């Protein structure tokens, strides 16, 4: 008879995989039980817990030439893992659960130009997010963010001592008690959009770290990015349809 145990050990038994593989799935944010995401691999769980695992998708190429490859990053993969899979240089990062356009470089000189363009804040990035609440009026958030290091990873909090961070939030449409919003940023601080949306009382669905309600993942999507004459767009992933969202 299986005894109550750590979540990753019970998951390993259920799936017939190693403890390490089970822990990695939970750490990715891809494991659920009773409709709720398992946040800690070492959480104590009942022996009869039934786990559900979100299927991990592969990144797909949107565009490529001799300098750059733009890919659709699916949720639950790190940006570094995507870059390694293509054996190319990572030009920027998306959070693990964030989907959308991710850029990789094929050329060292081009990489230097992109880095300089990011530093000069000449990259235009637009995201889509499902947020809790009825968001009806555009707002610009000019709130510095201080990045704190915690045991569970980085955490961004508003602080006058933090780094400058500017986000413009525009409503797309409202459905029930949730809204689809468009967020444009020039600065790219860690967790900038997630922290800024929380600061105005509209946390991203699934972003429990920043007060969001439970969802299959953090409902944040890197929709468009433009730099150095290039412009790329990624369609919303299927999981946004659960909230009735499409663009």
The residues assigned a catalytic role are 95
Backbone angles phi, psi at 201, to 5 degrees: 85, 20
Q: Tell which residue, 185, 198, 205, has the closest CA to residue 157.
A: 198
> Can you list the alpha helix ranges (DSSP code H) found in the chain?
7-15, 19-28, 79-86, 108-119, 192-199
Quote the CA–CA distance of 175 and 138 in Å, as a whole number. Answer: 17
> Can you list the alpha helix ranges (DSSP code H) found in 65-132?
79-86, 108-119
Q: With DSSP H G I counted as helix, E B as strand and the rest as coil, what are the percentages for the chain, rounded to 5?
A: 25, 35, 40
Determine the distance from the C-alpha atom of residue 184 to the mean position of all C-alpha atoms in its chain, rounded to a whole number. Answer: 15
């Amino acid at each position: 008879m299986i005894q109550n145990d750590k979540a990753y050990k019970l998951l390993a038994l259920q799936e017939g995989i190693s403890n390490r593989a089970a822990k990695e799935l939970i750490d990715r944010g891809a494991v659920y039980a009773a409709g709720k995401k398992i946040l800690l691999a070492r959480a104590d769980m009942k022996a009869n817990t039934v786990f559900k695992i979100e299927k991990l998708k592969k990144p797909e190429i949107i565009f490529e030439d001799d300098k750059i490859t733009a890919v659709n990053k699916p949720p639950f993969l790190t940006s570094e893992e995507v870059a390694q899979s293509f054996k190319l240089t990572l030009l920027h990062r998306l959070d693990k659960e964030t989907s959308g356009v991710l850029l990789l470089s094929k050329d060292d000189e081009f990489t230097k130009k992109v880095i300089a363009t990011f530093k000069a804040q000449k990259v235009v990035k637009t995201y889509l997010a499902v947020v809790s609440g009825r968001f009806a009026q555009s707002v610009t958030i000019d709130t510095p963010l201080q990045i704190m290091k915690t045991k569970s990873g980085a955490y961004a909090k508003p602080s006058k001592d933090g780094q400058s961070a500017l986000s413009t939030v525009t409503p797309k449409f409202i459905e029930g008690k949730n809204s689809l919003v468009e967020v444009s940023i020039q600065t790219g601080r860690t967790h900038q959009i997630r922290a800024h949306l929380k600061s105005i009382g509209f946390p991203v669905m699934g972003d429990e770290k920043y007060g969001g309600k439970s969802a299959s993942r953090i409902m944040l999507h890197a929709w468009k990015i433009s730099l150095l004459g290039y412009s790329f767009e990624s369609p919303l992933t299927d999981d946004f349809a659960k909230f009735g969202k499409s663009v």
